[in-house]
Amino acid sequence: MVDKIWLANYPAGMPAEIDADVFMSIPALFERVATRFAARPACHNLGCTISYAELDRLSRCFAAFVQQLPGMAQGDRVAIMAPNLLQYPVALLGILRAGMTVVNVNPLYTSREVEHQLRDAGAKAIVIAENFASVLQQVLGNTPVKHVITTELGDLLPWPKRWLVNFIASKVKKMVPAWRIDGATDFLTALERGAARSLKPVQIARDDIAFLQYTGGTTGVSKGAMLSHRNILANVEQTGVWISGSFKEGAEIAIAPLPLYHIFCLTSTLSFMKWGSLVVLITNPRDLPGLVKELGQWKFSVMTGVNTLFNGLLNTPGFDQLDFSTLKVVVGGGAAVQRSVAERWQQVTGRYITEAYGLTETSPGVCANPLGTPWNGTIGLPVPSTEMSVRDDDFNELSAWTGEGNIEKHTGELCIRGPQVMKGYWNSPAETAKVMRDGWLKTGDVGHMDAGGCFTITDRKKDMILVSGFNVYPNEIESVIATHPDVLECGAVGVPDSRSGEAVKVVIVRKDPKLTKEAVIEHCKAQLTGYKMPRHVEFRDVLPKTPIGKVLRRDLREEPKA
């Protein structure tokens, strides 16, 4: 048993443990919420709002539809491949209410990536936005998928807006490449057929798999983390109690700019729904002017995001003119929040970004700073019912760093144990064995714990740069360079070097096109020791990123594509 020294620094009233078994399943939670807040708005997207009663009815119809599909049974996998639309929570909750497993698919995946995920998951059905149907068409015959449900962007909008949105997307903006999938069912027809049938009751166990949540695959072939209903519900409780101190039931408005197919947004949305909140789903967060316009329409109280999104908003005209008077909580995750971004955010909005930490394999929340904590470079304290430990390569536990002596002796791999930790990787016992030991998940993240139980991540084990035998962490380099006033974004990686083994390379997106390599080096000299200094400085127009805004360091090592 780990000594939870962090409990002494918990916010007042924060419980040390949560009850992970309040609800038997995610549908049980949702059905209670839908009954309590039936008349309250549940989700908003593209100018349309549906209530909890409507979400209950529509998801019930979809559940009845997938239940009656030939060959479909409880426990089968159903994929969703779409951006944030009203159809997403309808399909997601419907699949779960039918006793089946959701497989979230990144709609920006290539045909190769889609084929791998559908084959690996053994998905028998898929809900897909027509914008991406041409990609599915290329590989459908190589997958186990037997049932395809297609949807247009505006399908759940009222007439005539539905027709207008779909017409503009297809005919004006040419966002829907030509496709043909014989036997596909459109989403509205699926709902009509489901409405004519009754939903067959299913017994869902807490340990049944709710989601096959695939890791990003940025370091190799993506793997499906088996997240049970209990895993997700535990994390809804854990993260919910951490951020909801000032929440009022049925009164909060949450902005969800990250995609629902990503675990951060997925669990956050369920947590917000537990409070009867209105969740504003953003379909295209890359349209920053459009996002600022949308934010201006709401007295929003809570928002989730990643460093690149916060930085982008801060550099978008009009953002600093928004009304932030109702904003209570801003949670940053997915990647480290940089100091320069956090401090400017606080100056502009008057609110701190609460930096949190999690992984796909942990549903995802693990650690968070207490609300109202200024940027401190840490990921905070483990959330309730979570054990956290720093281990060396032989899995020996390392002691806390007291601020004296060699910090390297207290730095190791962060390991996690708790009710939110996945059951394992789908059909991958060997991969599971690599990361699971005695109930602990080995995260692959390197860091240390201080004397107060606060954890700091230094970097990913695989991203660490070894310069002449010294460890160099990209996060540190990036944080220093990001403070330069002429830098918009940056990324740091290691590249081969004949003298030192590896050398630091930085790739920068300039805020001022006049910024030079020499100016960058001079800026670093004041804050970085010699072996940490960048030896290669490259300027690009954009950085390669995942859909939620993580910089793809692997791609930074390569020359930019023409």
Q: Is the pLDDT of residue 344 over 50?
A: yes
pLDDT tens readout for residues 126-157? 999 999 999 999 999 999 999 999 999 999 99
Q: Of 557, 558, 550, nearest to 218 (Cα)? A: 550
Contact present, 422 and 361 (Cβ < 8 Å):
yes
Lowest model confidence (mean pLDDT) among 47-51, 109-113, 252-256, 519-523: 109-113
Tell me, what's the pLDDT at 222? 79
Tell me, what's the pLDDT at 81? 98
| Over residues 65-79, mean pLDDT | 98
Contact present, 385 and 367 (Cβ < 8 Å):
no
Q: Is the pLDDT of residue 476 over 50?
A: yes
Q: Is the pLDDT of residue 416 over 70?
A: yes
| Over residues 192-219, mean pLDDT | 89
Q: Is the pLDDT of residue 257 over 60?
A: yes
| Over residues 444-449, mean pLDDT | 93
From residue 154, alpha-carbon distances to 45, 83, 86, 87, 158 in Å are 9, 12, 9, 9, 8
Q: Is the pLDDT of residue 438 over 60?
A: yes
Contact present, 429 and 224 (Cβ < 8 Å):
no
Number of other CB atoms surrounding residue 16 within 10 Å: 10
Q: Of 81, 282, 50, 278, nearest to 157 (Cα)? A: 50
C-alpha radius of gyration, the chain, whole number = 23
Contact present, 486 and 520 (Cβ < 8 Å):
no
Tell me, what's the pLDDT at 217? 40
Q: Which residues contact 272 (CB under 8 A, 6 or more apart)?
A: 252, 254, 256, 279, 302
Tell me, what's the pLDDT at 469? 64
Contact present, 243 and 354 (Cβ < 8 Å):
yes
Q: Is the pLDDT of residue 235 over 50?
A: yes
What is the C-alpha separation between 134 and 466, in angstroms, rounded?
44
Tell me, what's the pLDDT at 378? 96
**HSE of 561, CA atoms in CB hemisphere, 13 A:** 3
Q: Is the pLDDT of residue 264 over 50?
A: yes
**Mean model confidence pLDDT for the chain:** 94
Tell me, what's the pLDDT at 422? 98
Per-residue pLDDT band for 546 (boundaries 50, 70, 90) equals: confident
| Over residues 377-402, mean pLDDT | 96
Lowest model confidence (mean pLDDT) among 71-80, 117-126, 334-343: 334-343
| Over residues 353-380, mean pLDDT | 96
Lowest model confidence (mean pLDDT) among 209-223, 275-289, 319-333: 209-223
Share of the chain above pLDDT 90, in %: 83
Q: Which residues of 114-142 are buried (b: 16+ CB within 10 A; e: fewer)?
A: bbbbbebbbbbbbbbbbbbbebbbebbee
| Over residues 390-411, mean pLDDT | 93
Domains defined along the chain, listed by start: 52-204 (3.40.50.980), 465-556 (3.30.300.30)
Tell me, what's the pLDDT at 498? 78
pLDDT tens readout for residues 452-467? 999 999 877 778 787 8
